Structure 1
Amino acid sequence: MATSAEADTVLRRLARDGWTARAGFALPDPSWDVGAARLILHGRIGDDDLETAQLAVLAAARGAGVVAICDAESAAGRALIDDLSRLGPLHRGIDGTDLIANLIPEQRALLDRLAAGDTIAAAAAAEFLSLRTANRRIAEARTLFGVRTTREAVLAYLRQRQRAPE
């Protein structure tokens, strides 16, 4: 959910890192997993353009990176955020100031439980997640916060939560 300027900046950064940017969300490769191709699909998604949002989600599920410009409050934007958050962490905008906003609800719930003293296994059970899914969600949170341990991720989460406006 980037602005045009943010999308251009992200695309330039990714191109410098060896990614290939392609306009639109339809994948040219018939093979299912396109992750090794380091392909970034980008474009604008209209307020009620659910079909394009579905193409973006399919591309992400198949391993492509997605940079979408859309209104997060529109029907297509809400659907896109909801569906993409099931695949992994979202990065909304590029400023990185509100990291908690980039966490999916499952990650927030797990981090809250870990902060309260639960083990990952207990937090997973309380949130009706498999231990494997809980570990993946926590690993994604560690990556988002730029830390190596779960303890550091919980501490970073608590610091960010204290700074975040209610």
Structure 2
Amino acid sequence: MIRQPEDAPRHVVATTAEADTVLRRLAREGWTARAGFALPDPAWDVGAAHLVLHGRIGDDDTESAQLAVLAAARGAGVVAVCDTESAAGRALIDDLSRLGPVNRGVDGSDVIANLIPEQRALLDRLAAGDTIAAAAAAEFLSLRTANRRIAEARALFGVRTTREAVLAYLRQRQRSPE
């Protein structure tokens, strides 16, 4: 299967810790991380290489921003650390958005907004101390469906364990202005 540029992951995050979380998740999905935004391959389409480029883009670093957008257009994944409120950060997000959806961080309300109601209900019950089986029964879900929903939530949060997913959910829910 040939990857299209719109299939490649594009993330703009505020901190290096968030970038590390995203990169760990992408590595588990089979992407190869490489620091910097310059592509080593002279071929135009690099989507089949499953390459994700990452790095920091400063407010006055237009060259890195241009390289990141070019890499994304050529099919590479991009994880950029920058101030999303600055003019350069907004311009980067706008340029990357022309290629497809841009994920803005892993610790923001974006992740909670991507959870379906079943996942939220399950995570709420797990946070209250229920087991997965008890939470599934209380939400009228099969245990298999509950396990799948929780696995999807773990992937969204970029964590490996259900405990980490519950903790990330609670942290983000506290920050989220709902």
Q: Same fold (TM over 0.5)?
A: yes
Amino acid at match of 2:39: L
Relative to the length of structure 1, the TM-score reads: 0.58
On the 8 A contact 1:48/1:75 being kept in 2, the answer is no
- Structure 2 unmatched ranges of 5 or more: 1-11, 115-175
Amino acid at match of 1:68: A
Partner in structure 2 of residue 106 of structure 1: none
Provide the C-alpha distance between the structure 1 equivalents of 2:97 and 2:46, rounded to a whole number of angstroms.
Answer: 19
Partner in structure 2 of residue 74 of structure 1: 86
Where do 4+ consecutive residues of structure 1 move more than 6 Å?
A: none
SS at match of 2:94: helix
Task: Report the aligned-residue RMSD.
Answer: 2.4
Q: Does 1:52 align with 2:64?
A: yes
Q: Offset at 1:78?
A: 1.6
Partner in structure 1 of residue 51 of structure 2: 39
How many residues align structurally? 106
Identical-pair percentage: 84
Provide the C-alpha distance between the structure 2 equivalents of 1:79 and 1:15, rounded to a whole number of angstroms.
Answer: 27
Q: Offset at 1:66?
A: 0.2
Q: Offset at 1:33?
A: 0.5
Q: Which has the higher contact order (CA 8 A, sep 6+)?
A: 2
Provide the C-alpha distance between the structure 2 equivalents of 1:76 and 1:69, rounded to a whole number of angstroms.
Answer: 12
